[in-house]
Amino acid sequence: MVTYVATLDVPGHVVEFLARHLAAHRRRIGTPKGSRVLGPFRQAELVLRWFRERGRVHCLARDAGVSQATGYRYLHEGINGLAEQAPDLHEVLTHCQKQGMTHVILDGTLIESDRVAGVRENGNDLWFSEKHKAFGGNVQFLSAPDGTPLWVSKVEPGSTPDITAARNHALPALYKAAAEGLPTLADKGYIGAGIHIPVRRPKGSELALHVDTRMTNALIRHVRALGERTAAELKQRWRTLQRITLSPCRIGDIARAALVLNGQRK
């Protein structure tokens, strides 16, 4: 067997941030000092390796010198602690208004996962997305005009359309913000949501859209383009979001945890 030295591609202050939170969590639940195999800093390393490198939990646990069950427990502690710090949608929109932002951008993505049991009323798989032809969970993202990730929703099964997920988690708050001068831009997947989207040519019509309408569509697409990189940025920086191997019900918590880490990274 060969051993080697590796470097975790995460800024030191991010590891320290998570370690401080884990230490506070241990004090809060009354964990006796020295009763755990790993200290808060090394537990933070395990959690961040999983987020950054998509490491298998049994391998991370082996490297840390703990059992697989303990590795999972440490990982879930880290996910829970980070997800709890994710901002609420109303807080985010209030902050955007105070910062004088001209708009926010709403988009959804499928975060893939392993196949799980679950059947819809029509007999189709609950967690299977016909649009993406993959299993996973639908998560809604809100970003600033420059593409900075601001908010992540709870997860919906992959078979849930973007507009339905948005209605469940975002639209009421977005309507209120729009009435106060902060509109929301989105793509054509949100037709009927009552927010700013490109106009689609009527089905079956051979007539081209009016030039003013085409120009409006081009402007919306151009302004929205930066926000469309939000999900891609989080997935590339925190690679575990490319495919979740835990329960898909945890996808929302994992995505919100990644959002918190992303904010600490800067």
pLDDT (tens, 9 = 90+) of the chain, 266 residues, equals 677 667 888 889 999 999 999 999 999 999 898 889 999 999 999 999 999 988 889 999 999 999 999 999 999 999 999 999 999 999 999 999 999 999 999 999 999 998 676 666 666 788 898 888 899 999 999 999 988 999 999 999 999 999 999 999 999 999 999 999 999 988 888 887 888 777 776 676 666 776 777 777 777 777 777 777 888 888 999 999 999 989 999 999 999 999 999 988 66
pLDDT value, residue 70: 94
Minimal CA–CA distance to 265: which of 8, 5, 15, 3? Answer: 15
pTM: 0.89
Give me 36's structure tokens: 């755990």
pLDDT value, residue 229: 80
pLDDT value, residue 122: 66
pLDDT value, residue 82: 95
* Domain-wise residue ranges, the chain: 12-83, 89-247
4 DSSP 8-state letter: -
Round to whole Å and give the CA distance between 26 and 22: 6
- Which residues, in sequence order, are CB contacts of 162 under 8 Å at separation 6+? 108, 138, 140, 189, 190
pLDDT value, residue 1: 67
pLDDT value, residue 54: 85
- Which residues, in sequence order, are CB contacts of 232 under 8 Å at separation 6+? none
Round to whole Å and give the CA distance between 195 and 214: 17
